[in-house]
Structure 1
Amino acid sequence: MEIRRPRGTQDILPGAVEAWQALEAVVRDVFERANYEEIRTPIFEHTELFERGVGETTDIVSKEMYTFLDRGGRSVTLRPEGTAGVVRAYVENKLYGQGSLTKVYYLGPMFRYEKPQRGRLRQLHQVGVEVLGSELPAIDAEVIELGYSLLKKVGMRDMTVELNSVGCSVCRPRHREKMIQRLLPHKEELCADCQVRLEKNPLRLFDCKNESCQQVLREANVPYIVDELCDDCRKHLDAVEGYLRAMDVPYRLEKSLVRGLDYYTRTAWEITVPNFSTVLGGGRYNRLVAELGGPDVPGIGFAAGMDRVLAVLEAQGVSLGERQPLDAFICVADETAEHTAMAVLTSLRRLGVRCDRDYQGRSLKSQFKQADRLGAKFAVVIGESELAKGAATVKHLATGEQRDVPFGQLADRIREGGWA
């Protein structure tokens, strides 16, 4: 019986993987120019990390995690997101002891058990940044601009930056009480998930996709958190907006935006595209480091699904990354040239020439056809006669022009695009 890949996963094949490589190259360029360094954390962590770090009321923890017992009976979880693992690494390795701002980025697979759809898979790939050690609004603006610039550089169009504040430990409790007071009489009208959220984290009701729940919020005249901010949170949001205007980052205030993770405080934002909803999102998490056993260090970050970014670019007709054709294909005319052909092939590769040869015993005519299929610029023929004269027969496949080139000059001639 044929074994197929698990639902919600994908094979990224040659011909498609080049777009991924191109996106990864842009990611590294954009982030490293802003002085962010790469960090790599485990693909699985202790389940408690995500329960404490992401929040038990989130859909990720309550519905979507791949959790299992290892052979030692310990509960472990395939990482569903990147921030919790980065913060755990920050605390465990005492990066805060370096006394400076920590700016890192990551790329890698995440795992969520959800309904597969376009740009949303059970094994997804995320790219993200985290900054630990500053609560200044300027770093909020930098991180938002970084995400915007990344998407703009890969050619994405029609982006909208949506911004909000979800408050802090001062204004959130006051807003929570108002929400509970106004929604308790309507509790039975809410979906089952929102009834739980009302008790544990009422702010998350704004994140519910059920239109009937949103109708309840409107009819109960529930206030938006941004309208209930304390003075410090209001000043922080105003400052972030000022920086974004100075940096020429277009945005709009979205009062209902709260994001789907419990650790966010103050700044929260998303970048959306028509027909794809959220492409990139992030926020500030001033309490998360302390929650995971570290010092009281503020943090901020964002993540974007690479699968979704590439799906948006494809829908917008943006081509990102193409397979590079070969510079040369070595055609072996007869068995006497086998060893020399392998030596030439190896030498050319070591000198930076993209080249290959036949390994299926094809005829010389078939080798020429293979060179054409691979898009090679030159066919380099080596046989008994070439060995005798110490020069390969080099054919320019586009023009048909053919010359003898000494073996020692092959790399230079091919890199120069031919012969003088």
Structure 2
Amino acid sequence: MPDTTPLADHPQIHWTENGVAHSARWRSESGMPPPKRVMIADDRMTADQAYRLACEGTALLWRGDFQNARQLLQALARRNDQKKPGKKTGKKNNPADDQPASPGAAFHLHRQAQSQRARTLAMLLLPFEADYTIALRRAPDVKLACNEAYGRGEEPFVASLRELLGLIGAHEWRRNGVELPALGQRIHPHYGVFSPIRGEYVQLVADTPLPAGTRLAFDIGTGTGVLAAVLAQRGVKHIVATDMDPRALSCARDNLARLDLLEQVEVIEADLFPAGRAPLIVCNPPWLPARPSSRIEYAVYDPESSMLRGFLAGLAAHLEPGGEGWLILSDLAEHLGLRPRAQLLDWIAQAGLKVIERHDVKPTHPRAQDASDSLHAARSQEVTSLWRLAAA
């Protein structure tokens, strides 16, 4: 399901062009406010000029060639990524001085750098017509990608080139899908719904023995619907999959329809649990207790571990006698010093639950092996676990 917020409810962006004042609706999936300073830019602007202006908070509304704008965005990214940490003191930096005091400090510095990078690169803007046409030389046809993300066009607007490239990338993910060996099928993520590219957690759900006689299961926070699909393929007769995000609900229904599983899986809007009890309840909450900066980041960042704590607090009341709750969770937060293991175990005990067993797997995604990653020390130790929980 696309963004259902009426465009009339979006803020406006203002600029002056050829001595005439203009305004248009402003779109930003990350919630970034419209830039207060806007300059018209075209193919004559150099990357150094553009980078300086972007860092100062001046947005560049592009009137030149579209492909040149893409090249300019790549040049801005290179300049941002080549920045060296540390102050310019005139003295040679000691590498030890640039090291964060703790893994948690490294994480917060990483998030700050990500946020600053996103703000800088979001300063290159494009004009869109009401039908999602971009009136620039060599501009691609992006109507389908925009319709998938935004819904039917209503009026002209301005958005960042970086956001548009995200829409185009999401359209390709949706069209091609993600191959999942644990499922033996492809899952097609929609824009704004986290892609199950980390297949190790899906494999855990595929491999863990089901509780005896499981005919009903709940999948809490279903996202793309991938875990509900795995449970259905394993022979669970009926699965109720819940989510609060309209895009996730639409995505899950689309994937389950592609897999011919809609008769087995019921997708409903619910805040965590549906009504009733089940012998098996599965949840893969966001893994890191931090504040998201965009909608899609809610699949990664869980402010104050609210979804995790909500799932644990309500699990016992929704389990049938002898039933199991499967919590799929990475321990990256523990290695980053964001949530100690003792706190997780305390929440489990406070919820009237006990741990039956835990199945662990090491992640295989590229970042786990990337020594240049600022969080490599924590990522290299990460383990993803499936916790089998039961009422105490």
Query: Taking structure 1 as the reference length, what is the TM-score of the superposition?
Result: 0.18
TM (normalized to structure 2)?
0.19
